[in-house]
Amino acid sequence: MLLGTCSCAPWLRTTAVQDCESATSTPRFLLSMFAWSYASFCTSWSAVLPGSFRLLEEMRLWLVVIWLFVCAAALPGGEQPLSRIAIENTTLAIDDSVHIKASPLVLGLKGENSEWVEVEFFHPNPSDDDWIGVFSPANFSGAICDPENEWQQPPVLCTAPIKYQFAKFKNDGYNRSGKGNLKLQLINQREDFSFALFSGGLLKPKLIAVSNMVTFANPKAPVYPRLAQGKSWDEMTITWTSGYNIKEAVPFVEWGAKGGPRFLSPAGTLSFNRNSMCGAPARTVGWRHPGYIHTSFLKDLWPDSKYTYRLGHRLPNGTQVWSKIYSFKASPYPGQDSLQQIVIFGDMGK
């Protein structure tokens, strides 16, 4: 009975428990699903075993399940594609016969916070390992970087790319013609952008060409508002990001009920710097200025009412910089019968 009901245990121990490295070749979510399925199956059958045998098998079972979850958590790579780039191994191999060009030069002329950029390139000696990196700020030369300490050699590149794509992507025959183009979407990140063509793959990248610079019409514009419930039910917190520090411009929110009078609420400004990080690569090639984070509190809201708002910055000369208009619905009165929906998300990066 013991061998018949939980014969899966010896197999799992030999293939997964004794060889975690082999188990981690399976995608994490599949390992997790298999662990729970195995636990449910064997636990249901173990109920018919004598007490001592059942206890022993259940202990073995949960050791196997725990080990599977440990292996799943230890899966290397795959969570962040940029981590596959060995930026510290970069070498310079600029080649005048290689060309790369980006257009349009100015983005967001109609107030957009994101836009597509077309990148055209040519490499006379193409390879399937060639890739395009997007850099922001546009000047990513190691010559402008300071080493983290006196013993560290200055990096070849000052920053890692913020995104990348292989040159052969949707470019059939690239490894023969060397010609290609990509469309890449950029969002306003408070700095200009440039594009670089690399050979040598992701592990031994060689920088062979750099494009012209492109930029948003107003890279410092207030963008990406985030809403959160305030300390009381009739309060809404608005947090956004801009390129303006408190000495450059005063942040505020203009808001009001739809069709009603408008109000102004001040905002606080926070940020952090390179020295706030614990060490390399966060202080070196992984560092990118987060911009300035502003928070304002809208109070005395009416329950279930719709409000509109826009983010503003007042410059020293009196000029005001505005975001587009956004809206939200205020919370219901405490205890009121209403549908509640929740969105849960993890670390979204900066």
The full set of domain ranges for the chain reads 2-73, 83-216, 223-329
Matching residue, tokens 């191999």: 93
Q: Which fold has domain 223-329?
A: Immunoglobulin-like (2.60.40)
CB neighbours of 69 closer than 8 A, spacing ≥ 6?
Answer: 31, 32, 35
pLDDT at 144: 52
Residue ranges, the chain, pLDDT below 50: 1-31, 35, 39, 41, 43, 45-46, 49, 74-78
C-alpha 109/C-alpha 63 separation (Å) is: 59
Residue 187 to residues 221, 271, 294: CA-CA distances in angstroms? 12, 20, 19
With b for 16 or more beta-carbon neighbours within 10 A and e for fewer, the 54-88 pattern comes to: beebbebbeebbebbeebbeeeeeeeeeeeebebe
Residue 128 to residues 48, 85, 108, 170, 184: CA-CA distances in angstroms? 58, 16, 33, 12, 19
Query: Is it true that 83-216 and 223-329 share their CATH fold?
Result: yes
Q: Strands 292-298, 263-270: parallel, antiparallel or unpaired by DSSP?
A: antiparallel
pTM: 0.71
pLDDT tens string 290-329:
999 999 999 999 999 999 999 999 999 999 999 999 999 9
Q: Which fold has domain 83-216?
A: Immunoglobulin-like (2.60.40)
pLDDT at 340: 79
